[in-house]
Amino acid sequence: MRKSILLPAIGLLLVATAGPANADEGMWMLHQVGTLDQQALKATGFQLTPEQIWDPKTSSGLASAIVSLGGCSASFVSPDALIATNHHCAFGAIQMNSSPEHDYITEGFLAKDRAAELEAKGNRVYVFRGYDDATDAMRSVLKPGLKPEERSKALEMKEKSLIAECEKDGLRCRVAEMYGGLNYYLFKTLELRDVRLVYAPPRAIGEYGGEVDNWMWPRHTGDFSFLRAYVGPDGKPADYSPANVPYKPERFLQVANAPLKEGDFTMIMGYPGKTVRYRIAAAIADDTELSYPRRIALYKDLIDIQEAQSKRGKDVEIKLASALKGLYNGYKNNQGMLEGLKASDLAGRKRALEAELTAWIKADKGRQAKYGDVLPKMEAILAERRTTAERDLIIGQMTFGRQGSMLGAALTLVRWTGERAKPDMERDNGYQDRDERSLRQRLERMQRNLDLQADRAVLRYVLGRAAALPADQRIAAVDAALKATGATGEAALDALLDTLYARTKLADLKARLAMFDLKHDVLLTQGDSMVNFAAALRKDLKAHEDESKRFDGELVTLTPRFIEALGAFQKTPLYPDANSTLRFTYATVKGYAPRDGVVYTPFTALAGVVAKHTGTEPFDCPQSLRDAAKAGPFPHYADPVVKDVPACFLTTNDITGGNSGSPIMNGKGELIGLAFDGNYESMTSDYQFTDAMSRTINVDSRYMLWVMDYVSKAHGLIREMGLEPQAK
């Protein structure tokens, strides 16, 4: 996490009396809502006050109804903690509870009552409790003369201290940087650990169109599901227990009953994952020329492996479903990113901007002294990192990409047992006492997704890529393990894999959890082949992490100065990049013209859902939905303009990954749908927002209710949301 000691531009960056160049652009922090042009907001349909969104004085507001699922967003929609989110956000919970006998992925699921709701093991719901400015506290540890790695360490220790103090009250806290580290905020949430699956439509509704329609418009996907959060009988967060009771949220969203039309005001609150809109030209060029092409090739190879393995049987198909879903999405996302970066020549346009910025800096001695070294130093750091780009890609796949795998489990065990021997405050982030429960549950959950043959096939591919790295980017542990087999080439890979899988107990859940409780030195004496390989590999990973911390320590005094200079040069209010913290974005319902002669209207309808049916995946519309559609018209759900039940709609809201499942609301703060995607033409919105092309794709709440009412007969849930079913 990069931080900074520089604050002169705070006033410029945080006070936004007018929006950025594009009126709907910006993922604003909640305290910035009051600095936006309130008159303009009201003119477009905003009917609340900033304090009704969130009032820090009372720690209350509409934001209390918006929750994070740790990678997705969601919202409370009933007083008994019913949670609306996307089908793809609940997919892990659906898959974990599925089997060849109960294929909820394909068939869908509806709990007949609360006792029948299914445990979503390992899932979390994070309820917003506000945030505090932590800038001064973080700055206080950055003493003059610190080396880059010392800066990173000092900030890390201060961050842990702030979090430890915050969590004394039973909250879950994190320190988030803004503007590359110009500011820091301490975010507070209530972590609810008992989460249950309540309702999911069949996959042919929730994922209608599959990868063909993914990121595309027009869209006809019913991407929604419902969860519920529980607490102990005392009202406090607790692990799953049949004795637990539904959480009582302070706020929940009401479903809108007024029609939605083109031009209407919309707003989204959610947890966007990451944007990089202040990334310098050299970094964008690296992404365009190196990162995306390599990741696309990697994802394609992994998809091919997993698809081949999935054909071995229904049980394997279910086990690999979540991994494949993520790979498909990443593959198409990266393809769109690459196409967009090339087509827009973003790197070239950034270079031109930076040339103007450099000239502006040089035109004034004070500016030259303050900012003159920033861009050259940032470019030098990127050039150094570029020399290990291929190795870093494979290391990333071995660590983050292998979570839930045998090697991933071994790496977790090696690192956890090693870190646990240290005082808690000296441990690496993610391996403190506060993380023990989630680490243990990760090791438990992997059992449901583990297929040894598929696991071996993927690891073989990754090790093969590592063995083919250039001479100056080798991974020592992989080289040593392959050499120890006494073979070469493909034979060495197979011999190593034979050893790794024949002499490990990690496939056994009880053995794996028993290892979690061992001391580090005892773990390494067990003779487990996968653990021993992970221990050797951990040395390479630690060296890689130390390099990253050194780079972060260098950027800690550069990135904030660059953003400060950019803001002063452009004289434009700047919002912070997304970083998985709660944000507010406002917009309107609006179509777009993707190319010459083509104009997309902002609504699709139920008739379009049926019209797309071919009887073959991904357009195999369920018979139950097609039969229900014939019973129309449906005046309660139909739109007077569309003259049908609206399925999905477009808005100009500024979102990114992590916003999936975010409630999209009207000017009164009422639910009108759920955000679930962006359009392919604006795939590069992580880098740039354009009013002409940047669109959010939302599932309409009226389609959600129609499916629940006429297809799934989820009448109890409709009533719980304060509405009355229409199907009799």
Q: List residues with catalytic annotation.
A: 88, 223, 660
Angle at 178 between CA 552 and CA 358, to 5 degrees: 70
Rounded Cα–Cα distance for residues 565 and 371 (Å): 7
Question: Six-digit token pair at 223?
Answer: 């991407």
SS3 of 402, please? helix
| CA distances in angstroms from 597 to 12, 263, 592, 594, listed in the order given | 41, 22, 11, 9
Burial 203-242 (b: 16+ CB within 10 A, else e): bbbbbbbbeebbbbbbbbbbbbbbbbbbbbeeeebbeeee
Nearest of 566, 509, 589 to residue 121 by alpha carbon: 509
Nearest of 78, 112, 109 to residue 96 by alpha carbon: 109
Contact 674, 266 (CB under 8 A): no
Contact 54, 615 (CB under 8 A): no
Rounded Cα–Cα distance for residues 75 and 55 (Å): 18
Helix axes 406-420, 436-449, angle to 10 degrees: 160
Rounded Cα–Cα distance for residues 504 and 330 (Å): 31
Angle at 688 between CA 270 and CA 25, to 5 degrees: 50
What is the residue type of 497? L
Sign of CA dihedral 161, 163, 164, 168: positive
* CA atoms in the 13 A half-sphere facing the CB of 571: 1
Could you please report the per-residue DSSP string of 124-149? -EEEEEEEEE-HHHHHTT--TT--HH
Question: Six-digit token pair at 247?
Answer: 């959480």
Q: Give me the sheet containing 265-270, strands edge to edge.
A: 583-588, 265-270, 663-665, 671-678, 696-700, 646-651, 603-605
The per-type count for the chain, helices as H runs and strands as E runs, is: 29, 20
What is the residue type of 415? R
End-to-end, the C-alpha distance of the chain in Å comes to: 55
Sign of CA dihedral 479, 483, 489, 492: negative
- How many other C-beta atoms lie within 10 A of the C-beta of residue 541? 18
Contact 324, 305 (CB under 8 A): no
The residue assigned the tokens 């009013």 is 691
Helix (H) or strand (E) holding 277: none
Rounded Cα–Cα distance for residues 646 and 413 (Å): 49
Question: Six-digit token pair at 353?
Answer: 């901007």
